[in-house]
Amino acid sequence: MSDRVLLRDPRKEYPAPPFPKQPQIMPGLAKKMDPIPDHGEKSYRGSAKLAGRKALVTGGDSGIGRAVAIAFAREGADVAISYLPEEEVDAKDVIAVIEAAGRKAMALPGDVRDEPWCRDLVEKAVSALGGLDILVINAGRQQYREKIEELTTDDFDKTMKTNLYALHWIAQAAVPHLQAGASIITTASIQAYQPSAILLDYATTKAGIVAYSKALAKQLIKRGIRVNVVAPGPVWTALQPSGGQPDEKVQQFGKDSDFGRPGQPVELAPVYVLLASQEASFINGEVYGVTGGKGVA
């Protein structure tokens, strides 16, 4: 009997648009999406790449953060996830999956726009897990505005604090706990390189994440700590129908990718696993694009 894995057409691996109209109130829930995203609950299989590691993933209730948290647990890591209190129903599902993998899980509800909370969540994660050696800063805010006149100072401030300030606060609080061999992974976007007209503030923060992470990588490698970036393209997450895109764009989301569909969160998880693992011991300050063929240049 052949043990060859059957090939599958990647264009048909997951649902393609058109999708039903499905507006949600921010921050949005994965379980209300149609189709429900694949975060790896049933599809991700681990191979002990992160055995014994201790990870903190922000925005771990849904989307890419959820897929990463599940993959890390299946690879043998204990995982703490942070998320907004409004996302508790999704977060409970993730905690259950982590624990079902036989790993320790820690739930950290709170708003990363609050500096004291950013610092506190790191301390809580370290205390609960008994240390920290993987940090994934992934939580993000995306709200489209058609015109520059519609992008208020309050909008700009909320996006900056969620996507950039929190990155700094959390990294700054975590670094003293990290030892040589640890890994920090940030989540940027194709928007850093090919910004959409309706995402002025979001695209700006994603470009900032790339620059900040590259600079931090140069600084922390002197301590043996690696820092890398993942830059997704269109990925089917609750960020999109909860104000991240206009309703009509959500219905056709991912159609313009080379695959004719959006990516699923689980399709990014292996990149985060690689960057977190010892197998990436010579990878630092890099940006890994998972963009559906559009590139990051």
- Catalytic residue list: 202
Nearest-angstrom CA–CA distance, 56 and 62:
14
DSSP one-letter string for 66-106: HHHHHHHHHTT-EEEEEE-GGGHHHHHHHHHHHHHTT--EE
Q: 176: which 2 tokens?
A: 């003293």
**What gap in Å lies between CA 130 and CA 243, rounded to an integer?**
38
What the block records as the tokens of 244 is 């991240």
Which secondary structure element, helix H or strand E, spans residue 210, and what is its range?
A: helix 200-220
Q: Are 216 and 115 in contact (CB under 8 A)?
A: no
Q: In sequence order, what DSSP letters do the residues of 215-257 get, joined into one string? A: HHHHHHGGGT-EEEEEEE-SB-STTIIIIIS-HHHHHTTTTTS
